[in-house]
């Protein structure tokens, strides 16, 4: 775990001011509720790569929906909640803010939706798709900006690799096959050799994934600046 790298200045420099202001508001609300709050996922990756990102993805220990409702009441936006997963999304124009409970996930069978239970930040990061998306930034006032990199995401960013966190990753969620291809082509990275072997082995399980979920992944591919790259790679 990286405890020394602090990204507070990077947040101020690379995030649009509107997102910086929204982040500070969420931090204040979480602090008042005595909840630990983290910035996670793609926005952390893109901050480190110097790429634009208009999505904020927060993980909070405890009641995520309650925090999201309070945030929405104070800042506006369209609030959508998912009580089954204790997650919420707030849309404000082109901006998207996700607030989720730190959790663990288990899968009853390939293609099934996950069974969710409350967890720690460590288990929450471990459930994610790739190491480069499994980093977090601590937003607690006393540790604001501290990078948390438990699973080697920084090394894979530097080496331009797409790597899963565990061998059952593509079995648990087969749509990660499309995501691996999409990130590889968008970022100019390479799928790490062991990850590529696991991906190929899991391809027959694609038939277990519901049509809606597959359509969503293909739609995201088509929204890329150069979708033909991902389609050719696939």
Task: Compute the distance between CA of residue 15 and CA of residue 91 in angstroms, rounded to an integer.
Answer: 17
**Chain CA centroid to CA 104, Å:** 14
Average pLDDT over residues 15-26: 91
% of the chain with per-residue pLDDT over 70? 98
Phi then psi for residue 149, to 5 deg, are -130, 85
Per-residue pLDDT reduced to its tens digit, 113-139: 778 888 999 999 999 999 999 999 999
Please tell me whether the overall predicted TM-score, pTM, comes out greater than 0.85 for this model: yes
pLDDT value, residue 4? 58
Average confidence score pLDDT of the chain: 92
Q: Is the per-residue pLDDT at 2 higher than 50?
A: no
Per-residue pLDDT reduced to its tens digit, 53-110: 888 999 999 999 999 999 999 998 899 999 988 999 999 988 899 999 999 888 877 7
% of the chain with per-residue pLDDT over 90? 76
Task: Compute the distance between CA of residue 74 and CA of residue 5 in angstroms, rounded to an integer.
Answer: 32
For the record, the structure tokens of 233 come out as 């790679």
pLDDT value, residue 16? 87
């Amino acid at each position: 775990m990286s405890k020394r790298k602090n990204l507070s200045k990077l947040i101020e420099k690379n995030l649009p001011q509107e997102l910086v202001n929204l982040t500070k508001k969420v931090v204040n609300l979480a602090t008042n509720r005595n909840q630990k709050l983290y910035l996670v996922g793609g926005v952390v990756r893109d901050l480190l790569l110097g790429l634009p990102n208009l999505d904020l993805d927060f993980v909070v220990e405890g009641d995520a929906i309650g925090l999201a409702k309070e945030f929405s009441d104070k800042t506006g936006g369209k609030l959508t909640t998912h009580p089954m997963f204790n997650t919420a999304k707030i849309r404000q124009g082109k901006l998207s803010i996700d607030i989720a409970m730190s959790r663990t996930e288990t899968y009853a069978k390939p293609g099934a939706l996950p069974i969710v239970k409350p967890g720690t930040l460590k288990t929450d990061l471990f459930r994610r798709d790739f190491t480069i998306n499994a980093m977090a930034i601590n937003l607690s006032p006393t540790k604001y900006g501290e990078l948390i990199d438990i699973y080697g995401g920084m090394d894979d960013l530097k080496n331009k690799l797409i790597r899963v966190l565990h061998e059952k990753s593509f079995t648990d969620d087969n749509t990660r096959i499309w995501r691996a291809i999409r990130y590889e082509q968008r970022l100019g990275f390479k799928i790490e050799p062991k990850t590529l072997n696991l991906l190929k082995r899991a391809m027959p399980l694609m038939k277990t994934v519901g049509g809606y979920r597959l359509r969503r992944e293909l739609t995201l591919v088509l929204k890329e600046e150069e979708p033909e790259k991902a389609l050719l790679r696939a």
